[in-house]
């Protein structure tokens, strides 16, 4: 009986802790850029353009979500590429919805509670909300949105539903 070793799977398992740490670091850098985008647009919308603070926050959150998705898709999780335009659009919608439900709602709720009930400075409250939302968002994105082993990650798949050519 001949034993076949899948070197790709073996090296993947051996490199997993280091790869996970690198991926988490990249996710963190993308998140940091998202904080800059989020805070910058919040300040622009609220302080410069006079938009109501919760609406300014919602608009800034959406812009940072789009920015974060693109950076995560093409950098953090590049080895888990969506594979084709249809899957990219579906993944982007899933990321957007997930991020709004986790990070977005956490940010807005934190902003509202800390400013309205505790009288905290809105920029600090918003920053705290970003941090709280990020705690949940990485786990959800890593396990659901950019998960390893989804059909779109199968190199044999053509992306149009047909089996690969022999």
> How high is the pLDDT of residue 162?
44
> How high is the pLDDT of residue 4?
43
- Domain encompassing residue 119: 22-153
CB 19 within 8 A of CB 80: no
Indicate if the pLDDT at residue 73 is higher than 70. yes
Query: In this predicted structure, which of 55-69, 107-121, 122-136, 151-165 has the lowest mean pLDDT?
Result: 151-165
Question: What does each C-alpha distance from 85 to 20, 49, 51, 123, 159 come to in angstroms?
Answer: 26, 36, 35, 37, 9
How far is residue 11 CA from its own chain's centroid?
A: 26
Q: What is the pLDDT of residues 105-128, one digit of tens each?
A: 999 999 999 999 999 999 999 999
Three-class DSSP labels, the chain: CCCCCCHHHHHHHHHHHHHHHHHHHHHHHHHHHHHHHHHHHHHHHHHHCCCCHHHHHHHHHHHHHHHHHHHHHHHHCHHHCCCCHHHHHHHHHHHHHHHHHHHHHHHHHHHHHHHHCCCCCHHHHHHHHHHHHHHHHHHHHHHHHCCCCCHHHCCCCCCCCCCCCC
> How high is the pLDDT of residue 164?
44
Q: Please report whether residue 165 resides in a domain.
A: no
Q: Please report whether residue 164 resides in a domain.
A: no
Q: How far apart are the first and last CA of the chain?
A: 27
Q: Please report whether residue 13 resides in a domain.
A: no
Q: Please report whether residue 14 resides in a domain.
A: no
Mean pLDDT of the chain: 80
> How high is the pLDDT of residue 63?
96
Q: Please report whether residue 101 resides in a domain.
A: yes
**Mean pLDDT of all residues in 63-81:** 87
Place of tokens 């400075």: 121
> How high is the pLDDT of residue 95?
84
How far is residue 92 CA from its own chain's centroid?
A: 9
Indicate if the pLDDT at residue 16 is higher than 50. yes
Q: Please report whether residue 137 resides in a domain.
A: yes
Query: In this predicted structure, which of 2-11, 40-49, 62-71 has the lowest mean pLDDT?
Result: 2-11
Q: Please report whether residue 33 resides in a domain.
A: yes
> How high is the pLDDT of residue 158?
44
Q: What is the pTM of this model?
A: 0.70
- Residue 65: burial class (beta carbons within 10 Å; 0-12, 13-18, 19+): buried
In the chain, how many domains are there? Answer: 1
């Amino acid at each position: 009986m001949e034993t076949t070793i899948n070197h790709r799977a073996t090296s993947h398992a051996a490199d997993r802790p280091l790869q996970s740490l690198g991926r988490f670091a990249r996710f963190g850098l993308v998140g940091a850029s998202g904080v800059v985008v989020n805070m910058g647009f919040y300040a622009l919308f609220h302080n410069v353009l006079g938009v109501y603070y919760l609406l300014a926050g919602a608009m800034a959150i959406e812009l940072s979500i789009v920015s974060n998705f693109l950076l995560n898709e093409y950098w953090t999780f590049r080895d888990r590429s969506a594979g084709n335009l249809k899957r990219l659009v579906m993944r982007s919608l899933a990321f957007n919805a997930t991020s709004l439900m986790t990070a977005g709602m956490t940010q807005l709720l934190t902003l509202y509670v800390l400013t309205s009930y505790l009288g905290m400075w809105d920029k600090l409250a918003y920053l705290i909300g970003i941090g709280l939302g990020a705690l949940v968002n990485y786990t959800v994105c890593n396990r659901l949105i950019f998960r390893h082993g989804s059909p779109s990650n199968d190199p044999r798949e053509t992306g149009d539903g047909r089996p690969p050519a022999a």
